[in-house]
Amino acid sequence: MKPAPQQEDYSSQSGGREGGNTRRPFFRRRKICPFSGDKAPKIDYKDVRLLQKFVSERGKIVPSRISAVSCKKQRVLSQAIKRSRFLALLPYVVK
C-alpha cells in the first residue's frame, strides 16, 4: 500500500526533472519497468544476456525495488532465472 501515494506525488511533478521543488530537494525520476511498454524484451529463460542484468554479482536475483521491474514481470523473471540456473546457464552462487 505504501508506494501508491508516492507514485502519485511523482506523477504530479512530472514536469520538472531537475527538481526546483522546495519540498523535495532530491527529486528522483520515476523508474519504469524495463519489461513494460512497446519495445520491451520478452522474458525468456534461454536469453542469458538479458537475465544477467537482473542478477547480482553474487548470482542473486535483484529485488524489484532496485531494478524497477513490475510485480507481475518480476514473478515471470524469477521463474526464468531459476530455470536457466537449473540448466547451468546461470550460476546459483558466484564465490
Partner 1 sequence: MALYENIFIARQDLTTSQVDSLVDRFSSIVTAQGGQVTKKEYWGLRNLAYPIKKNKKGHYVLFNLDAPPAAILEMERNMGLSEDLLRHLTIKVEELETEPSAMMQSRNREYSREGSFKPRSENADSEMEINPIDSGENS
x/- mask, partner 1, residues 5-44, rule CB under 8 A, reads ---------------------------------------x
Using CB under 8 A as the binding rule, whether residue 78 contacts partner 1 is answered as no
Residue 39 grid coordinates: 519495445
Vertex 83, ends 65 and 64: CA angle to 5°?
A: 5
- Residue 55 has a CB neighbour count (10 Å cut-off) of 20
Task: Output the smallest distance, CB 71 to partner 1, in A.
Answer: 21
59 vs 94: CA distance, rounded Å: 6
Identified binder of partner 1 from the candidate list 31, 46, 60, 75, rule CB under 8 A = 46
Using CB under 8 A as the binding rule, whether residue 76 contacts partner 1 is answered as no
26 vs 67: CA distance, rounded Å: 19
Site of interaction with partner 1 (CB under 8 A) = 44-50, 83, 85-92
